[in-house]
Structures are given as C-alpha cells and as structure tokens.
A and B are shown apart, each in its own frame.
Chain A
Amino acid sequence: EIVMTQSPGTLSVSPGERATLSCRASQSVSTNLAWYQQKLGQAPRLLIYGASTRATGVPDRFSGSGSGTEFTLTISSLQSEDFATYVCQQYKHWPETFGQGTKVEIK
C-alpha cells in the first residue's frame, strides 16, 4: 500500500499570505494525485486532480505541482474561506490512499 505523507501537520498563515503544502508518496504515483479541501461537518471538495489540474469552479489562487513522489499545493493569497484541512490522495495504485491532511489555520 502506498503511504502518503503530508507536511506540515498544521500551517499557521495570515489572510492574504501564501500557503505551501507538501505531499510525499512512498513510491511513484506519476501524476495520479488529487487534492481535497475538507471543512468540519462538510463534504470534502475536490480541488486538484492530475497533480495540477484545477477542478471545475476552483479559484485560480489554488495550484498544484509535482510528479512521481513529491507534490505541492499552493494557495497564493489565503482568503477566509480557505482555512480548512487539505488532503492529498493517490489513485495510481490499488488501494487508493489518502494523506493525513494539513490543517491551515489563521495566524
């Protein structure tokens, strides 16, 4: 099973600042990597798939990059609604596996 490791566990950022989140796979997943936003009590929301393609309706302040084992989600200028937990998922290898998440909190 592929292990997805996200860092940091918690990221404290001020509104308007840039946030950079990392996700590492225990072996190559090519670009079969998705990012989700999760808020307490709400449905997870797909942000990025294919490592770098924004899902429909996702603001362009969200961007994804990387391939193989190292991936990054960048939020260029944090808005109040962006404070949430972000989870990466690989779908290259069965079973599909998720990271533990990075919580982005207000500094």
Chain B
Amino acid sequence: EEQLVESGGGLVQPGGSLRLSCAASGFTFSTYWMSWVRQAPGKGLQWVANIRQDGKELYYADSVRGRFTISRDNANNSLYLQMNTLRAEDSAVYFCARVANSIRDRWGQGTLVTVSS
C-alpha cells in the first residue's frame, strides 16, 4: 500500500525551529517530485514547497522562502521540512504529498504545528 506518514509537529515558540519528516512506503520514492502543503485552522490548503527527485531543484512559497528548507533522503525514502524563525501564522497542519505531473496524487494525514508563546 502506498503510504506517506508525517511526524515532527508540535508546539514551538515564535522564532523557534522545527523539523518535519515524512516517511514514504509502498512506491518508488526516488522517482517522484514531492511537496509540502499546509492548512491553517479553519483555512484552505496552501502549497509550501516542492523538491525534485534528485533534490537539486527546489521551489518555495513566498511566505516561507528563506525560512523553510525542503530536503529528501532517497536512500531512506524520507522527505523533510526544516522550519526556522517560525511565526504564529505558520501554525497549521502540514501535509506531505507525492507529485505526479503537477498533481498531488497521494497525501499523508498531516502533522500539526503550533507556534505560540
């Protein structure tokens, strides 16, 4: 079964850092672009970042560029999101998603990040 499982969320103070992980299984992880998408409480989905199969092409939403870093470890079928200088508006459920032809065809269940003092 194709599966994505996020972890690493939690409560962090403004200005703090957090690293999210996404473990992939059931498919050939190294052959797909991957993505992070977030959803603030009561709000819609917002794309955060994309990474190419080899990890050498990265894209970020303007709201996180310079603070967040997407990366991957194909040997361990894992996707990461390093989040620095966190703000209250970064509070959200963060989903990892597999990307096929620009379509997010498989999603994880999400991990909650709360930025608050």
Partner of B109, one of A42, A91, A101: A42
State how many angstroms separate the Cβ of B86 from the closest Cβ of chain A: 21
- Binding site secondary structure of chain B: strand
- A15-56 CB mask vs B (1 if < 8 Å, else 0) is 000000000000000001010100001111110010000010
What residues on A are CB-neighbors of B97 within 8 Å?
Answer: 44
Q: Chain A's interface: helix, strand, loop or mixed, by majority? A: loop
CA A76 to CA B62, docked complex, whole Å: 39
Q: How many interface residues does B have (CB within 8 Å)?
A: 20
Closest to A6 in B: B44
Are A96 and B102 touching (Cβ within 8 A)?
yes
Chain B residues near A49: list those with CB within 8 A: 103, 105
Kindly state the separation between the CA atoms of A91 and B43 in the bound complex, as whole angstroms: 19
B108 within 8 A of A: yes
The contact of B107 among A32, A43, A101, by CB within 8 Å, is A43
- Which chain B residues lie closer than 8 Å to A36 at the CB level? 104
- CB of B61 within 8 Å of the partner chain: yes
Q: How far is the CA of A95 from the CA of B97 in the complex (A)?
A: 16
Most chain B CB atoms below 10 A, which of A32, A42, A43, A95:
A43
With both beta carbons as reference points, the residue of chain B lying nearest to A41 in the complex is identified as B109
A43 touches B44 (CB 8 A): no
Give every chain A residue within 8 A of B95 (Cβ-Cβ): 43-44
Question: Number of residues in A with C-beta < 8 Å to the partner?
Answer: 22
Cβ–Cβ contact B44 & A46, under 8 A: no
* B45 interface residue (CB < 8 Å to A): yes
B47 and A95 contact, CB distance less than 8 A: yes
User: Bound complex: CA of A55 vs CA of B105, how far in Å?
Assistant: 8
Please list 6 pairs of residues, one from A and one from B, whose beta carbons are closer than 8 Å in the complex, sorted by A's number. A32-B102, A43-B109, A43-B110, A91-B102, A96-B102, A100-B43
Interface on A for B, CB 8 Å cutoff?
32, 34, 36, 41-46, 49, 55, 87, 89, 91, 94-101
Interface residues of B (CB under 8 A from A): 4, 43-47, 59, 61-62, 95, 97, 102-110
